[in-house]
Structure 1
Amino acid sequence: MRILFSALPAHGHLFPLAPLMEAAIAGGHVVGLLGGPGVRPLAVGELDPGVQLLGDGAAVQEFLAEAARRTGGDPTRPDPAMLGEIFGAARLDLDGEQALRHARGWAPDLVVAEAFDTVGPLVAAGLGIPWHQVGIGPGLAPMPAEVIERAVVPYYRRAGIEPVPASSYVDPCPPALQDPGWVSPAPRLPVRARAHRRPRGEPAVLPRFSDPGRPTVLLTLGTVFTEEEMLAALGSAVADADVNVLATLGLAISRPPESTGRGELRYVSFAPMDQLLDGVRLVVAAGGSGTVLGALSRGKPMVLWPQGADQPVNAALAAAAGVAIVVGSAAEVTGAVTRALHDDALHARAAEVAAEIAHAPAPAEVMATLTAHAQQSRRGEAVVPVAAR
């Protein structure tokens, strides 16, 4: 079977699809990924080499800039109009036509798209094949979901394509971290979340600490919100808790900022989250979905200082679940880290959520369900709802 994946060309949107891609390839399927200049650098070394890269779509900076031009807003702190442009109108205007062209030539049997992606659903509707939506964290609230949905309607009308609902919602978010009032946009199919790991190749080289007996804290602000001044302040604040600090530089910082603190602070360039979590007692982060789910899949509690995008929501849900302490400034970090390191209830709750994640179906099981659903659809048989399998 030919399975086409589609995602926003950014780490936090693409990497949650990686386990499903690997499972599909291991199951003997042919896997393609829609993208262009923005996807190729992310895929090299980080995705299964069997993934075929298709298309010549825009890089994420291009449609962020286009959305900002149309609305006059800040893409890192989007209002509803900006959300609709980033994920809906601007994205389809830049990528929709070429994606449809490449997909028709590739002839997929089904499409798997991450929750914020609107290109994959367009392709599925245009080709008349089923598609499945994959969450990247806690479910999208009704307001932004509706804004994005409305924003794509004009493009569909111009293209003469009728929108088709997703056949399922593949959900990596454990119930403990989901908003109690959230309603799945399609039949829910849980999948086991994991921290990002490289399928093959050499692991990243991580720094060593002079005193490995001290607790190690991972400090990561992700790939979007890492700024040198903020990272330096946070690094010093975490180190003042008298711990070893392993801090990620993100993508925008080329050299480690100067920092102070009682503990030992070491920086590392981009490395897979799964490897970064080895030997870590606590995670200090901004609260991106990949970081939160990755940390919890390994039973690591968190101290979160949200900066924007989905981070405030993720942080609030993690605090409500009893797996994180949320702070509002660097001045609060040292005390929060000290409390979190010695809070047995926090660590026990993180372990419980990790067990909940581990009991969800593996990506291979989920892909078997999706392909069976597509085969039924292709044969014109009555399709059993995926959640009923």
Structure 2
Amino acid sequence: MKLLFSATPAFGHILPLVPLMQAAVGAGHAVGLLSSAGFRAEVGEELPPEVEFLEAGVMPGEFSEEAARRTGADVFHPTPSTIGEIFGGSRVDLGIEDSLDRATAWAPDLVVAEPFDAVGPILAARLRVGWHRAGIGPALPAAITREIDRVASTRYDRLRLDPVAASRYIDPCPQQLQDPAWSSTARVLSVRLGAHRRPKDVALDLPDFGEPDRPTVLVTLGTIFSNPDTLSATVAAVAETGVNVIATLGSFLRDPRASRASHGEVARVASARVRYVPFVPLAQLLEKADLVVGAGGVGTVVGTLAHGLPMVLWPQGADQPINAARAAASGTALTVDSAAGIAPAVAEVLENGAYRSRAGDVAAGIADRPHPAAVIAEVTSP
């Protein structure tokens, strides 16, 4: 069978799909990923080599800029209606023709689309094949999915297509993070996902800390919101507590030496207890950490909890406030609204073992969920 995965060109949208792609490849299926050509080089190393990359559509900067032009809204702190225009309108308009061409030529038997992706369902309707929605974390609030669907509906009308409902919702979200009020019209299949890891680990140039017995805190703001000023403020606040710090620079700051200069006083004064690293699969870094300080990106939240680690979260935008709120409600994290709140929150989570205990409970629940191979077997069965 030929499985086409359709996703927004961003790490947080694609990496949670990789275990499903790996399982499909392992089961002997042909697997394709449809996303922007501009993201191919960025994500290529993270994909199974057997996955065929189908280039179509534009990068987030372009379709977000178009959505901002159309709405006049702040796309980094969007309302549901703005999210609807970004993903159900602008991204579709700027990429659907190429997407239809690539998908038609590739001729999939089944489409799998992540929650923000409105392109995959349109392809399934045009090609008259079934499709499944694959979650990437806590399910999107109904207010957001309604807006994406509402805006996308006019694109179906232009293409003279009728929307087709997803057959299944593949849910990677541990129960403790899911909104209790959430329900799905499609049949829900639970799946076990962890932090992203490449088939071959990345070599880390990470000198030992001078005082290795101190707790180690991983600071990661993800790949989109790693603004140097925000990162510097976060690292400084964490280092203030006397812990060792590993800080990721995000996917667009590849050279740690160049980035240290931009982080100025933090890099010079705290260098004995701070290590900056470029983009590295999260699983490798979690093995070295006792606590994670992040922005609340879904990959960070779910991956960290799969490792049984607690968090301190400072949301910066997009869906991060939703993820952070669910993590806080589960008792596995504290949330803050400024850099000033980070140091006391770090101290509290490290001193209070209840946060790590609850994170361990979530990790145990994740480990009990079905393996991606079992899910792929079910969705591809006759």
Is the structural similarity TM-score above 0.5? Answer: yes
- In structure 1, distance between residues paired with 2:95 and 2:233: 39
Identify which range, 169-178 or 307-316, moves more after superposition: 307-316
Which residue matches 2:286? 277
Please list, as runs of the form range in 1=range in 2, the aligned pairs for 1:231-270 lying within 5 A after superposition. Answer: 231-253=231-253, 254-256=258-260, 257-258=263-264, 259=266, 260=269, 264-270=273-279
- State the Cα distance separating 1:252 from its structure 2 match: 4.2
- In structure 1, distance between residues paired with 2:31 and 2:206: 32
Which residue matches 2:317? 308
Percent of aligned pairs with the same residue? Answer: 51
Which residue matches 2:333? 324
- State the Cα distance separating 1:81 from its structure 2 match: 3.0
The answer as to whether partners of 1:10 and 1:38 remain within 8 angstroms in 2 is: no
> Which residue identity does 1:24 align to in structure 2?
A
> Which residue identity does 1:309 align to in structure 2?
A
Please list, as runs of the form range in 1=range in 2, the aligned pairs for 1:186-265 lying within 5 A after superposition. Answer: 186-200=186-200, 202-253=202-253, 254-256=258-260, 257-258=263-264, 259=266, 260=269, 264-265=273-274
Match of 1:338 among 325, 342, 347: 347
- State the Cα distance separating 1:41 from its structure 2 match: 2.0
Query: C-alpha deviations, 1:202-237, integer Å up to 9, x for none?
Result: 444444322221111000111111111111111111
- In structure 1, distance between residues paired with 2:251 and 2:73: 23
CA change 1:335–1:202 in 2 (3 A) is closer
TM-score, normalised by the number of residues in structure 2: 0.94
- Structure 1 runs not aligned, ≥5 long: 377-389
The answer as to whether partners of 2:293 and 2:313 remain within 8 angstroms in 1 is: yes
- Structure 2 runs not aligned, ≥5 long: none
> Which residue identity does 2:259 align to in structure 1?
R
User: Match of 1:53, SS?
Assistant: strand
Establish whether residue 95 from structure 1 lines up as the match of residue 95 from structure 2. yes
- In structure 1, distance between residues paired with 2:249 and 2:202: 20
User: Match of 1:16, SS?
Assistant: helix
Query: C-alpha deviations, 1:334-366, integer Å up to 9, x for none?
Result: 111111112111111000000000001011111
- State the Cα distance separating 1:284 from its structure 2 match: 0.3
- In structure 2, distance between residues paired with 1:59 and 1:39: 7
TM-score, normalised by the number of residues in structure 1: 0.93
Which residue matches 1:162? 162
Which residue matches 1:380? none
- State the Cα distance separating 1:27 from its structure 2 match: 0.8
- In structure 2, distance between residues paired with 1:308 and 1:195: 21
> Which residue identity does 1:75 align to in structure 2?
V
- State the Cα distance separating 1:285 from its structure 2 match: 0.5
Which residue matches 1:61? 61
Identify which range, 78-87 or 9-18, moves more after superposition: 78-87
- In structure 2, distance between residues paired with 1:292 and 1:38: 26
- State the Cα distance separating 1:241 from its structure 2 match: 1.0
Match of 1:292 among 284, 301, 307: 301
Identify which range, 57-66 or 278-287, moves more after superposition: 57-66
CA change 1:207–1:173 in 2 (3 A) is farther
The answer as to whether partners of 1:239 and 1:262 remain within 8 angstroms in 2 is: no
Establish whether residue 371 from structure 1 lines up as the match of residue 375 from structure 2. no
Please list, as runs of the form range in 1=range in 2, the aligned pairs for 1:60-79 lying within 5 A after superposition. Answer: 60-79=60-79
- In structure 2, distance between residues paired with 1:290 and 1:199: 18
Identify which range, 88-97 or 195-204, moves more after superposition: 195-204
| Number of positions where the alignment pairs a residue of Structure 1 with one of Structure 2 | 373
User: Match of 1:133, SS?
Assistant: strand
Aligned CA-pair RMSD: 1.5
> Which residue identity does 2:229 align to in structure 1?
E
Identify which range, 36-45 or 88-97, moves more after superposition: 36-45
- In structure 2, distance between residues paired with 1:228 and 1:344: 31
> Which residue identity does 1:39 align to in structure 2?
F
Identify which range, 224-233 or 288-297, moves more after superposition: 224-233
> Which residue identity does 1:264 align to in structure 2?
R
User: Match of 2:90, SS?
Assistant: helix
Give the ranges of 4+ consecutive aligned residues of structure 1 lying more than 4 Å apart after TM superposition: 260-263
CA change 1:303–1:44 in 2 (3 A) is same
Query: C-alpha deviations, 1:255-281, integer Å up to 9, x for none?
Result: 121214597111111110011101210
- State the Cα distance separating 1:37 from its structure 2 match: 2.1
Which residue matches 1:26? 26
Which residue matches 1:9? 9
- In structure 1, distance between residues paired with 2:377 and 2:231: 42
> Which residue identity does 2:377 align to in structure 1?
A
